[in-house]
Structure formats: structure tokens, C-alpha cells
Structure 1
Amino acid sequence: MKSWDFCRSITSVQILVALGLDHGAALEQLLLNTPLDQNSLNNPETVVEASAEMTVIRNLLRELPHLPHLGLRAGERYPLSAYGIWGFALASSPTARKAVELSQTYQELTFVFSGFTVEEQGDHAILVFDNADVPVDVRLFSIEREIHAAMIIIREMIGANMGEEWVRFQHPRPANAGLYEQCFRGKVEFSADRNELLFPRSALDKPRAVGNLATASLLDKQCSELIAKRSARRGLSGKVRDILLRQRPMSMDMEIVADVLCMTSRTLRRKLDAEKTSFRQLADEIRLGLAEEMLAGTRLSVEQIAERLNYADASSFSQAFKRMSGQTPGMLRKQGRRLDS
């Protein structure tokens, strides 16, 4: 399995499609050879396979061959607010060091293809990006996007303490490198040994005015839980999850799922038990994950979220959410508002 082969929310594909549309590409061409359509783009519940996002990138490159450095242009569209729970966790961190640690631990809640590690050398903290297992045809786009997006996030986290960044790319200096100089205010090197983003090490441990240790710890836990829910399940469990995520309306009806799988509900129950899970557990995982993402990343009301997740009313949704997460929808949303303020 490739390091980048994990599911992600629809947000990144929305960003890529918007970039293409802004430059005259057609929606049907941008979504060509993917299972996505306008409805899935508009649905915050949509979960995207990494391969589908990569296909959108290939489509973008094919449709806009005249536009250089599409990765850089895409990267500027990924602020912290695009990342849901992961973004809130970083934004609530009491120091940049804690944020960097969280960012590395929970990379599977991002949209990266070029994974990164963190080092400290002399006066610099260094994010090292490895794109060795990224397919060659999207490798340049990937590293441009990932490093530019990381720079924007770090500047958002550190602010005035950031100074000028120092960026190193493994690929040779392109003929039209002017956009690099516009995107990065500090030194930009090419043909380097590694892909790196360097910034002042001294900025790591300076307290952040908007940081909150208690909130950061809670969101750290939620990030861990969300990754566990998103982790690709094998066998029948994975098929059940796929069917539930595609259901419209989201009924979470075991009989319907069993019928799609051409088996009785009793057989489905027995086979899920053999995989050490249950239909209720799978349904709860999906609903909780989608609820957290909609509460953190959208302006939908609790009533609207309850309706989308097929609860009888907002009260039923709130009770179920508290049972599954230990807090109310309002508590989670208030945390997000404090971080935004």
C-alpha cells in the first residue's frame, strides 16, 4: 500500500475542481474516470479514495496544459480551515511545536500525496517531504501543492515569528520559475537532495495567544478516533461501509444493506461478528465521523445535520452524538468558533 493511499474528505477535490473551473475547464472533464459527480461534490458527507483525487489532478493537468505550476496555484487554496478536525487541532495547539507534532501524527486527515517528516537542525525546523512513491505524472504537482500549502499553514500558525522561509525542491529549476518567487518570500533552491521547507526553530516553542491545551488534547483524541473510523476496512465490513456511505437518504437500514449484498440480515450479522464488528458499530462510526466533519467544517445547523444523517429530529441526533463522542454537538461547534475568533 502506498503511503498516500488513504481516504479523504471531498474538500480537496472541491478545491481542485474550483481551480479548474476558474481557468475555463469543464466540470465533466475534471471528473472524468472518477465515481464523482456534482451531487457528490456538493455533499459534505462524501468520502473520496486517494486514487479518485489523483485522477482529478491528472484531469486538471490535461485540461490546463498552458498553465504552468498548477500545484503551486492549488496549494494557496488550502488554509487550515480546509482540513476540518485536523485544522482545528492545529489551530488550538498551545505552541507551534505541538501543532507540528499533531500534523505529522495525523497526516491521514490531510490531502497529501507527498508525506512529510519533521527534523530540527541548528537554527532550523525542517519539514521533509517524500514524494518517491507518487506516480511520476503527478509528482511535480504533488510536491508543489504540498510545500506551498504547508507554508501557508505554518505562516498561519506562527505569524510574525515565521520570518522568511527557505524552500528546497529536488526537481531542476524550471524555465518559468517566476511563480515560485511570488509564492515563497525567502530562498528557493532547486536540484536539492530533498524536498524541504525550513523555518526558524526558535518559533516552535513560543506560546500561541489562541492556543488552548485542553481543547488541543480533546481534538487530538478526536483526530485519532476519526483516523480509526476512516481506516480502510477489509472484507465484508468495507463493503457495508461503502453501501452505507452511498445510501440516499442515509437510512442505516440493515435489511437494505443485506439485500444489496444478496444475503439475509441474519447472515450479515453473523459475518460481521466474525470480523469482530457489528452493523450498529459501523453505522455509528460513519454517522459520528460525518457529524464531526459537518459540525467542524460547515455552517449547517444541528437540525440540518440531523436531517442529513436521517435522525428523527435534532434532539435525537444530539443524544446519539453525545453517546458516541462524550460531548454535545454544541460543545464541538463552540470549540471551533473559539478557534476562529
Structure 2
Amino acid sequence: MKSWDFCRSVTSAQILVALGVEYGAQEAALLRDTGLDQQSLNNPETIVEASTEIAVVRNLLRELPTVDGLGLFAGERYHLSAYGIWGFALASSPTARKAVELSQTYQELTFVFSGFTVKEEGDYARLVFNNSDTPADIALFSIEREIHAAMLIMRELLGSALGPEWVSFQHPRPAHAALYEKFFRGRVEFSAPQNELIFPRALLDEPRVVGNTATASLLDKQCSELIAKRSARKGVSGKVRDILLRQRPMTMEMELVAEALCMTSRTLRRKLSAEGTSFRQLVDEIRMTLAEEMLSGTRLSVEQIAERLSYADASSFSQAFKRMSGKTPGVLRRQGRSLSV
């Protein structure tokens, strides 16, 4: 049985909750038994396990039992911009082939529950989704959402060159089959051998005008680094990170974090050491991550960033930032601006 303890962005949970609320469900009901509250749901820095998102899906299906095709309606909301760095990496890819390769390499940065592979046969390329490990009660929702989202991404990558779509599903023709005809512009098959999205193979190697090899390479590296960071969020160290990220204002006191975890600071220190880290290392890592995000993605001054990260003053922040990154805050900010131009 597949484990669902791997980490992902809270963005997908936000999308699902927003969908449910639009159809009349209560937010509190959609967050029931997920460990999320309104504050953590709306915090873009929140990282959740896939099992949390599965809980949101189950709540959505329970609260809206009369809405057919919820997976299809959800799928149309997963534009490239919803996927963060992974989405930007795909959008910058020089060809659709490179985008598909990135998709496979960094599936952990997507919101799929079904693993997918690429097959090339004759004149066609196929994205094949295997949802055999997906819990049965959400399997239909999941595959509807994932193939629709994949189609949406291919449309964004290829534009009008994509032409009519061809999709196939393993499940029998549902009562709401008319919705499939609405969302997919071409051939739709049910009771098929595989769940597939099929398109002309030649499109894989067509140069994309908006692609940029250098940018795609940089974002490829950032995707790899992001996965490494998320992998480190398990265990006690992961819980410490989550508590530190949720704190507003941000404080870095070990005793407060230990109390939130119902243990002494001595026990917390011992558990973190067993996981190969320390409270100070986690604090430095989080400060660096947030500092880079605020320097690259906001107009906050160095003084304001220093205050938000609980440094004594801007000078202390700048010295610490240079020590940990090898760059001054000003250099990183200029690099971020040049990348966005």
C-alpha cells in the first residue's frame, strides 16, 4: 500500500476548499480532521502531507454528494501558475519534451495522487496515469482532476498547436459523461485499458517561442532543492519547522516550540540530534528560506525583513545572510529582479 506522508504545497488544498465553498460547503467542514485551520490554509508557506489533501478531498465529496464531476471542475483550476517553481520551470521549457521530462522528474512537486509515465508509439505520445494505489473512495475524483489538469497544462504549453484532445479512462461511462465532452474538446473513451492523455508525438519537439533554456535550467535546479527541503520536513524536525513558520510574530525560542510539542527543551534537543540536526540549524534554514523569498518576491526593505525574522537590526541580518549564503541581501535582490525581467 502506498504511503501518503510525502510533503506538498498547501496550494492544492486551498483550491479544493475554495471549490467546495463556491458550491455551498462550509470551510470548517472541508477542513475537518485535516489538521488545518483557516490561518494555516491561507499561509502560502504551509506544507502539508499528501494524506492531508486526501482528507480534504474526502470532506469535499462528503459535503457535496449531489455535485457530479467534482474532479473535472477541480481540474480546470490547476493552471501552471498554481504549481509554483515547478510550473514556472515547465512554462520556461524550450520544448514540450523538456517540460514532460521535468514533470516526470519532479512529480513530487505536483498535486497528483496517480503516478504518470510517458510512452511514445508511432505518431502519438501518451501520458499514462496509474491510479491503482489511489484510495478507492477518491479514485474517480482523482483521475478526473489529474487528466483534466494535465490537459490544461498541455494547452498552456502548446496553445492552438495541440488541436483536438484524445483522452481515455479506465472507469465505465459515468452518468455525467456530458461534462467530459464539455471539458475535453476531442475524443473521450471509457472502460479503456489505461488512463491516458494522447496527443501528436511531433509536438514534443516543436520549439516554444516563450521557452528559455537558461531559465529552465535554473528553475530545474530550484525544483531539486525544493524537494530536498520538503523531504527534510518529516519527523520532529518537520514539526519544528511548521511551528516556526506559523509563528506570527516569528520568535525563535526553543522552549516555546518544545512546549507546543508537549515536551521539554532537553527532549526536543535530543530528538533533533537523533535526526541529524539542531534547533539552531532549523532556525537558520527557515530564516534563509524566508529571507530569500522576501528579497526576491517582495518590496520589503532590508530593515523590515530583519524585523520580521527577529534579527536585532538590519546589520545583524545582513551579516548573517552573507555568512549563510555567501551573498549580501542587495546582491540577491538584484539577481531576483534580473531573472524576472
The interval holding the TM-score normalised by the smaller chain is 0.7 to 0.9
CA-atom RMSD, angstroms? 2.9
Report the CA distance shift for 1:309/1:206 in structure 2 as closer, same or farther (over 3 A).
Answer: farther
Cα distance in 2 for residues equivalent to 1:84 and 1:289? 15
Residue of structure 1 in register with 2:99 after alignment: 99
Aligned length: 334
- Percent identity between the two aligned chains: 70
Pairwise CA distance, 1:305: 6.6
Report the CA distance shift for 1:214/1:314 in structure 2 as closer, same or farther (over 3 A).
Answer: farther
Q: CA contact under 8 A between 1:170 and 1:193: conserved in structure 2?
A: yes
1:105-184 pair list within 5 angstroms: 105-184=105-184
Q: CA contact under 8 A between 1:288 and 1:321: conserved in structure 2?
A: no
1:155-192: CA deviation from partner (whole Å, max 9, x where unpaired): 10111221222101010011220110011111111111
TM, length-normalised to structure 2 = 0.87
Cα distance in 2 for residues equivalent to 1:90 and 1:321? 31
Cα distance in 2 for residues equivalent to 1:184 and 1:322? 52
Residue of structure 2 in register with 1:17 after alignment: 17
Residue of structure 2 in register with 1:219 after alignment: 219
Q: CA contact under 8 A between 1:284 and 1:324: conserved in structure 2?
A: no
Pairwise CA distance, 1:135: 0.7
Report the CA distance shift for 1:198/1:17 in structure 2 as closer, same or farther (over 3 A).
Answer: same
Residue of structure 2 in register with 1:331 after alignment: 335
Cα distance in 1 for residues equivalent to 2:231 and 2:54? 19
Residue of structure 2 in register with 1:28 after alignment: 28
Report the CA distance shift for 1:89/1:174 in structure 2 as closer, same or farther (over 3 A).
Answer: same
The residue matched to 1:34 in structure 2 has which SS? coil
1:202-255: CA deviation from partner (whole Å, max 9, x where unpaired): 111111111111111111111101101101555443343343234333323334
Structure 2: gaps (5+ residues): none
Pairwise CA distance, 1:71: 0.2
Residue of structure 2 in register with 1:254 after alignment: 254
1:104-159: CA deviation from partner (whole Å, max 9, x where unpaired): 11111111111211111111111111111111110100000011001101110111
Structure 1: gaps (5+ residues): none
Q: CA contact under 8 A between 2:7 and 2:233: conserved in structure 1?
A: no
Cα distance in 2 for residues equivalent to 1:6 and 1:112? 12
TM, length-normalised to structure 1 = 0.87
Letter paired with 2:63: E
Report the CA distance shift for 1:148/1:306 in structure 2 as closer, same or farther (over 3 A).
Answer: farther
Q: CA contact under 8 A between 1:171 and 1:192: conserved in structure 2?
A: yes
1:176-325 pair list within 5 angstroms: 176-233=176-233, 235-260=235-260, 262-264=263-265, 268-269=268-269, 271-289=271-289, 300-303=298-301, 309-310=309-310, 316=317, 320=321, 323-324=324-325
1:29-87: CA deviation from partner (whole Å, max 9, x where unpaired): 11112211221222111112212211111111111111101000000001000011111
Pairwise CA distance, 1:318: 10
Pairwise CA distance, 1:330: 4.8
Q: CA contact under 8 A between 1:319 and 1:328: conserved in structure 2?
A: no
